[in-house]
Structure 1
């Protein structure tokens, strides 16, 4: 028997929460020996809970206070303290019988996050890494980063990858209320400095062809610093650069399918899910040749130097002008995306869990 820390069901469905949600579904399919505990808050409507599945709500607090105080208090009252599985970076600091997932250590690698976020994570992450029985992460790159930063043995860390859209997901593609101008280039991700949107926008404005639109989708994340210069760039170029905000999976798939290419010059990724999503939807990818992205994208992407605006422009120009390049990357992208599936990741996760229950 084990317990899943299900606090993510009360949070917006972004990258880390998507990982947890997809594995939550895999756990539910694979075992009846799991319980699901979360704060006494409504489940966000973007999450579909299997019919008949019991969610145990407890406590009166929310967020980190619930996780640090009320979750371990609940577990400690049980006759046998269960193994606790945490999938979203944080976990109770001093509960020993647990597995923790750390997606990356970006908070140590750049000045992208708010001071309060960095301060919190510099306390939480090393403590839960030390006190957990095992650690899960999402790439060999992140595993090496965690080993180096915290001097943790490699055999204490398992890699359980993210995955992109499945074939049934792709079939649900839906334009929704999108009103698009063609042709366009797409970028997807939270609106934060790590995604390098300022350089992407400046590079886009230098394209040889000026009849393209750049669509940005995602949500602002309070954990990251705001950037007034980015706001000005968006405002001053709103005819050619359009922020679409948060979109459903069906709309996102439609955007991928109809884009000339996907541009993702990120400065740091522990995995980098949007490029894999784009590949699964048949969209050729431009991305950074740093951090985890070469590991995850392999030969199926056109790589750029994310710090070099002319190079980002050049790679977009190449993609626009060379249909053979696009067709080749689409074919390789389908193959690469097929390496990742939530079914396989669910199996790998259960293998880890079964070693500790």
Structure 2
């Protein structure tokens, strides 16, 4: 009899009165099948792809910038690493972001790309918001990861959790750098309080969040950025004649906390004593009228130039520079530091914010409020070829601690913990 061959199937039912051995065996078979299906169903649920909804915000505001770069790289890692089990939707219809074209899978339209008019960012945010709202209401996702701090989505979550990334605390630390009508601080306070989890891009940023907001430290996970530039020898085109000149490199926008005026005033005497030395400012827009007047007053207007460039051009600029200078008063992370390391460019960094955390022992540091400290660092790297080589090799080693793939894996873990 089958029940005697497989007694373990019959045994759970033997105590029931009135059941034959064959009946006990049959019930055991049924229970086994139910258990197997239940296990397979559980296994399927635990292995299923998790879908994340990203909204439009940062891609409406930024043509270039660290925040949009971060989200682009995060989504790209989920796209190419299927084993992560994360799919996503980007709720976006209009954008002039310059990183999006690198990934043809993103479908969107450019809107007034050549118009450098005031208010274009807020307008793009306004026309994109209905698309994000529609995606939220459809609910075809497991979790929401907004790309900035506008809390419009809170009323459309429908029971879904959301994760917020805090990129820096500039609005809290330097409120004078922003107009009075700017509501970023109020928005940030609201979403930090309601988020299921908070990602801070550095330990320094986490500590700043805890300084300004009453939030459980266990709710904040530190996840570093990576570098979008690979370690490689950069090729140079015939048009790069400007790169045959000696120059120091400044990258990105030049608004108040970026400390550009301090930097250019401090370096003026070095430029005046070295007529063949230049400063190239990559990105950040054309010099303002006030900046032009400052350069003229310092008599260095012919030695300081601004260029608009793409990623390939920026790689070449890093690779040929005597040094990359980052005089910022505060950074939440500082992606340009890793870009400089990847391009074998010595990095001279402000000793504040997260920059020592990111640069480690691979950079030369200075006080961003002390002109002599900055001039000393620049002079050292100009005159000491061995120091430059040492910084280059240390930078390549430090770069190995950061990658976008690691960012994505660690972010996935935060997502899983945040699911309702």
Give the structure with the larger helix fraction. Answer: 2
Paired residue for 2:114? none
Q: Deviations 1:64-111 (Å, cap 9, x if unpaired)?
A: 446766634541343x67310124454535255211111011011114
Q: Distance in 2 between matches of 1:139 and 1:194?
A: 18
Does 1:273 pair with 2:335? Answer: yes
Change (3 A) 1:165 1:21: closer
Paired residue for 1:257? 319
Q: Which consecutive unaligned segments of at least 5 residues does structure 1 have?
A: none
Of 384, 388, 405, which residue of structure 2 is paired with 1:343? 405
Query: Larger Cα Rg: Structure 1 or Structure 2?
Result: 2
**Contact preservation (8 Å) 1:67, 1:92:** no
Secondary structure of the structure 1 residue equivalent to 2:101? coil
Of 203, 212, 231, which residue of structure 1 is paired with 2:292? 231
Secondary structure of the structure 2 residue equivalent to 1:161? coil
Give the C-alpha shift of residue 28 in structure 1: 1.7
Give the C-alpha shift of residue 321 in structure 1: 0.9
Secondary structure of the structure 1 residue equivalent to 2:265? helix
RMSD, aligned α-carbons = 2.8
Give the C-alpha shift of residue 329 in structure 1: 0.8
Give the C-alpha shift of residue 177 in structure 1: 4.2
Q: Deviations 1:270-292 (Å, cap 9, x if unpaired)?
A: 01111221111111111111111
Q: Distance in 2 between matches of 1:176 and 1:125?
A: 47
**Contact preservation (8 Å) 1:38, 1:55:** no
Paired residue for 1:4? 54
Secondary structure of the structure 2 residue equivalent to 1:48? helix
Paired residue for 1:25? 76
Q: Which consecutive unaligned segments of at least 5 residues does structure 2 have?
A: 1-50, 110-121
**Contact preservation (8 Å) 2:164, 2:198:** yes
Of 5, 11, 14, which residue of structure 1 is paired with 2:65? 14
Q: Distance in 1 between matches of 2:102 and 2:386?
A: 43
Give the C-alpha shift of residue 309 in structure 1: 1.2
Does 1:193 pair with 2:243? Answer: no
Paired residue for 1:92? 152
Q: Distance in 1 between matches of 2:344 and 2:253?
A: 22
Paired residue for 2:186? 123
Does 1:214 pair with 2:279? Answer: yes
Query: Which has the higher mean CA deviation after the structures are superposed, 185-194 or 69-78?
Result: 69-78
The alignment covers a number of residue pairs equal to: 345
Instruction: Provide TM-score, normalisation by structure 2.
Output: 0.74
Which stretches of structure 1, 4 residues or longer, exceed 3 Å deviation after superposition?
6-11, 30-33, 42-46, 48-56, 61-70, 87-93, 170-179, 226-229
Give the C-alpha shift of residue 112 in structure 1: 5.3
**Contact preservation (8 Å) 1:39, 1:66:** no
Give the C-alpha shift of residue 171 in structure 1: 4.8
Secondary structure of the structure 2 residue equivalent to 1:355? helix
Secondary structure of the structure 1 residue equivalent to 2:177? coil
